[in-house]
Amino acid sequence: METGGVGYHIHISLHTYGKIEALDSAKIFTYYHVKEDGHSLYGFYEEEEKNYFSYLISVSGIGPNTARVILSYMNTVEIQAAILSENVAALSSVKGIGPKTAKRIILDLKDKISKDSGGVPIDLSSINSQVREEAMSALIALGFPKSSVSKHISFVLKNEAGNISVEELIKKVLKQMS
């Protein structure tokens, strides 16, 4: 990233990359991380993503790179849903996060996130519909018939407790179709 003629190396999530890749200029919210062996900048397209990054690195055992991986794998609404619904499976599906760490994230952040969300309930159906659409598009692009894909996605979502990531849904549908 360049600003005022000075270039900066900023670590970003895939979500942020997707938002800024086609832009000529952008406002990036940054987090400056200092440790003994170096200084790093982490950047976010949305302030909410930066806030969730701060929440995640406050959990023991979660460093900035792990928090960035979580934010690359799940958006803030999915993270909020997983924490508030205590969905260990959703969090532990992220590379590098095991069940113990997922439980620690839920335990440490549930009160903070529910307080900051103002007690507003999250709409899991809108998350599932977004996940459904993305999985459907991906599977149709792979050459599977729309009617078959739709039927299998509905079956998997019906039998799935809580929220599910696009990747998990695609894997389960492909397993079911084979």
Q: Within this chain, do residues 142 and 81 fall inside the same structural domain, yes or no?
A: no
DSSP 87: -
Read off the tokens for 145: 């018939």
End-to-end Cα distance, the chain: 45
Among residues 92, 163, 172, the alpha carbon closest in space to that of 138 is found at 172
Q: Within this chain, do residues 53 and 9 fall inside the same structural domain, yes or no?
A: yes
Range of the domain at 137: 124-177
With contact defined as beta carbons under 8 Å apart, do 137 and 146 qualify?
no
CATH number of the domain residue 34 falls in: 1.10.150.20
Predicted confidence (pLDDT) at residue 105 exceeds the cutoff of 90: yes
pLDDT, tens digit, for every residue of 118-147? 655 555 555 566 777 788 888 888 888 888
Among residues 104, 89, 49, the alpha carbon closest in space to that of 72 is found at 49
Q: In the prediction, which pLDDT does 166 show? A: 79
Q: Within this chain, do residues 57 and 32 fall inside the same structural domain, yes or no?
A: yes
Read off the tokens for 22: 């086609």
Least confident of 83-87, 89-93, 138-142, 154-158: 154-158
Query: Cα–Cα distance between 117 and 113 in angstroms, integer?
Result: 6
With contact defined as beta carbons under 8 Å apart, do 10 and 30 qualify?
yes
Q: Within this chain, do residues 83 and 9 fall inside the same structural domain, yes or no?
A: yes
**Domain total for the chain?**
2
Q: What is the mean pLDDT of residues 87-102?
A: 87
Alpha helices in the chain (DSSP H): 14-20, 47-57, 64-73, 76-84, 88-92, 99-116, 124-141, 146-159, 166-177
